[in-house]
């Protein structure tokens, strides 16, 4: 029929240009979609690289080392405190004239002092960046007996802990008579007693605060 012929003509005509309707907009949408997919792929790649860096470099190298240093500083602190209390026990045993217990305590003190030196050296070797700077920088004045007077020194954290360990090891050999002697006059004190005086002058004020920082 004539009506069907007209519809056929319109249909054929429509088929020839329907793909051009909003063709530019369609191309823009397709391009935008492609860009979005590429951006997501790039983000995924960079995200994977970033996660790898954070996991391997920051966590495995930095975080684990920081946790290690925190744990070792706690161990170092307990050993320093142990030495302070062992010297107190040595004084008590000297008061009771117990040579055997004094000797046993002296051995303990030297063993712990050696452990402090080894642990401190190991921590120093593991240190880097700000932690290494902390080891090499003075933070609190150290007061020690030299001759017949107190001398104040600016020692690095590294040197202060090693000096404390040296004092403890040297003072462990103090005799019973020197421990029982109530005379603390600097001019008449033996070297071992001066080491004990220097140790107690610094352990609570200067050594432990640096370890805890």
1-24 pLDDT, tens digit per residue, is 555 566 666 666 666 665 665 566
Question: What CA–CA distance (Å, rounded) separates 114 from 85?
Answer: 17
Question: What CA–CA distance (Å, rounded) separates 47 from 112?
Answer: 48
What's the token pair of residue 109? 């003190």
28-54 pLDDT, tens digit per residue, is 777 787 888 888 888 888 878 877 776
pLDDT at 56 over 70: no
What's the token pair of residue 152? 């104040």
Q: What is the mean pLDDT of residues 153-167?
A: 93
pTM beyond 0.85, yes or no: no
What pLDDT is recorded for position 169? 95
Distance of CA 126 to the CA centre of its chain: 9
Q: What is the mean pLDDT of residues 144-158?
A: 91
For residue 99, the SS3 value is helix
Residue 141's region, left for phi above 0, alpha for psi from -120 to 50, else beta, is beta
* Pairs from 208-213 (Cβ < 8 Å, separation ≥ 24): 208/77, 208/80, 208/81, 209/139, 209/140, 210/139, 210/140, 210/157, 210/160, 210/161, 211/73, 211/76, 211/77, 211/80, 211/161, 212/73, 212/77, 213/134, 213/139
> Which ranges in the chain belong to alpha helices (H)?
2-17, 23-52, 64-95, 99-126, 129-136, 157-171, 176-180, 191-202, 208-212
Q: CA 207 → CA 9, 156, 160, 177, distances in Å?
A: 100, 11, 7, 28
74-86 pLDDT, tens digit per residue, is 788 899 999 999 9
DSSP string, 51-67: HHIIIIIIIIIIIHHHH
Q: What is the mean pLDDT of residues 43-69?
A: 67
């Amino acid at each position: 029929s004539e009506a069907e012929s007209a519809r056929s003509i319109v249909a054929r005509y429509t088929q020839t240009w329907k793909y051009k309707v909003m063709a530019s907009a369609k191309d823009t949408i397709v391009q935008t979609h492609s860009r979005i997919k590429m951006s997501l792929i790039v983000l995924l790649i960079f995200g994977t690289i970033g996660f790898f860096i954070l996991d391997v470099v920051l966590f495995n190298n930095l975080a684990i080392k920081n946790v290690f240093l925190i744990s070792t500083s706690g161990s170092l602190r307990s050993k320093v405190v142990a030495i302070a209390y062992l010297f107190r026990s040595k004084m008590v045993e000297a008061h009771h004239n117990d040579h055997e217990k004094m000797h046993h305590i002296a051995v303990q003190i030297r063993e712990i002092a050696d452990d402090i030196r080894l642990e401190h050296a190991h921590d120093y070797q593991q240190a880097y960046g700000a932690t290494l700077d902390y080891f090499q920088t003075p933070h609190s004045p150290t007061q020690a007996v030299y001759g017949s007077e107190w001398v104040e020194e600016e020692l690095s954290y590294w040197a202060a802990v090693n000096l404390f360990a040296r004092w403890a090891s040297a003072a462990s050999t103090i005799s019973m008579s020197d421990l029982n002697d109530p005379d603390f006059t600097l001019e008449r004190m033996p070297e071992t007693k001066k080491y004990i005086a220097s140790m107690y002058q610094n352990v609570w004020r200067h050594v432990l605060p640096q370890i805890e920082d």
